[in-house]
Amino acid sequence: MKAHPCVATLALALTACTTQASLHLAGQAPPQPATSRAALASPRPDRGASWLSTQAAKRGPLLYISDFYNFDVYVYSVPSLKPVGKLTGFLEPEGECSDAHGNVWIANTGNQQMLEFKPGGKSAIDTLADPLGYPVGCAIDAVTGNLAVANIFGVSGAGGILVYKHASGTPDLYANPNQFYYYFDGYDAKGNLYASGMTSKNVYALSALRLGEKTMASLSIRGGKLYFPGTVLWNGPALVLGDQQCSGGTSSCLYEASVSGTTVSVTKKIPLADSCDVAQVALHGKQLFGGDYESCTHVKSSSIDRWTYPAGGKPTESVTGVYDPIGAAISN
């Protein structure tokens, strides 16, 4: 789910590594990736068959990485990053999330649907239609089992959050009138949801849907400035937010923050050295995993990287073989 302005098939191309292009909502073209990439080559769908090592699936855990360009989702062993599988048949796959059973949900953006895969499975076990827009991110609530899907934009305008109760049925729509685009979302331990995105003027925005509330509220950020929406995840007492254009530059980073009411206070900056458009990361213990796109001048080829958490810095391991990595999720 290319959550950058080159996001979901819409000609939304804000570029993290170059200049900002204009957004074209009239006639709504298909969604583009949730990354800030300036220029993307034409997609080259992989029509091959899916495969996955049954032994690797039994050993687990597994890392799932979506590739917006090839329409594939690649599977790696954790923490080694050894390739152990590939899922095909998607149309512009983007953000991902996993539940307590290890099942992984993948935003199949181009087809306006969410697909669920069991650990080690090569075919989707469930499909949820998105009747209102283009899904690019998702989160599972450990409290209720609800699935919250982020629509970067709707079929006729602004995006929003669709909540599928118990990850099934017809969703309920939630939105913040001050936020137009919705990229990634994440739940805290109490069932409160946070969603990153942008205003209609392409300014970073962060919203919250409190447990039991019917509307989303804007959150103010203190102690730091974010430029391009990225990861949203909860780690203990900290809300972790990703910025694909850290400090307005060409590298990505993460911020740890505390939340009090409608105020988010940055407490730590985690650099992802020499990275570019890291749209979504997955956290496993003391390690981070995510895609590093090649569009920035200091990156020679796209890769899947592993970083130490919370130190960040240069990757401790990288593997190539992807073109436009977006989503990241770990199946335990």
How far, in Å, CA of 207 to CA of 310, rounded?
24
- pLDDT on residue 258: 98
- pLDDT on residue 23: 37
Residue in the block written with tokens 């996993």 = 98
- pLDDT on residue 288: 98
Residue 325 φ/ψ, nearest 5 degrees: -70, 135
Domains and CATH numbers, the chain: 51-218+316-331 (2.120.10.30)
Burial label for 321, CB within 10 Å (0-12, 13-18, 19+), is: middle
The alpha carbon of 189 is separated from its chain's Cα centroid by a whole number of angstroms, namely 19
By the 8 A CB rule, do 135 and 124 touch? no
pLDDT of the chain along its 332 residues, tens only?
Answer: 344 334 433 433 333 443 333 333 333 444 456 765 544 456 678 889 999 998 998 898 999 999 999 999 999 999 999 999 999 999 999 999 999 999 999 999 999 999 999 998 999 999 999 999 999 999 999 989 999 999 999 999 999 999 999 999 999 999 999 999 999 999 999 999 999 999 999 999 999 999 999 999 999 999 999 999 999 999 999 999 999 999 999 899 999 999 999 999 999 999 999 899 999 999 999 999 999 998 775 667 899 999 999 999 999 999 999 999 999 999 99
- pLDDT on residue 36: 57
3-state DSSP assignment of residue 315? strand
How far, in Å, CA of 88 to CA of 106, rounded?
12
Long-range contacts of 242-249 (CB under 8 A, 24+ apart): 242/184, 242/196, 242/278, 242/279, 242/280, 242/281, 243/204, 244/3, 244/4, 244/16, 244/35, 244/36, 244/277, 244/278, 244/279, 245/16, 245/36, 246/271, 246/272
By the 8 A CB rule, do 92 and 107 touch? no
Tell me the β-bridge partners of 147.
140, 164
- pLDDT on residue 32: 53
- pLDDT on residue 47: 81
- pLDDT on residue 299: 60
How far, in Å, CA of 159 to CA of 177, rounded?
10
- pLDDT on residue 8: 37
- Starting at the earlier edge strand, list the strands of the sheet with 104-108: 93-98, 104-108, 113-117, 126-129
How far, in Å, CA of 137 to CA of 214, rounded?
20
- pLDDT on residue 11: 34
The alpha carbon of 273 is separated from its chain's Cα centroid by a whole number of angstroms, namely 19
Q: Give Dmax (Cα) for the chain.
A: 49
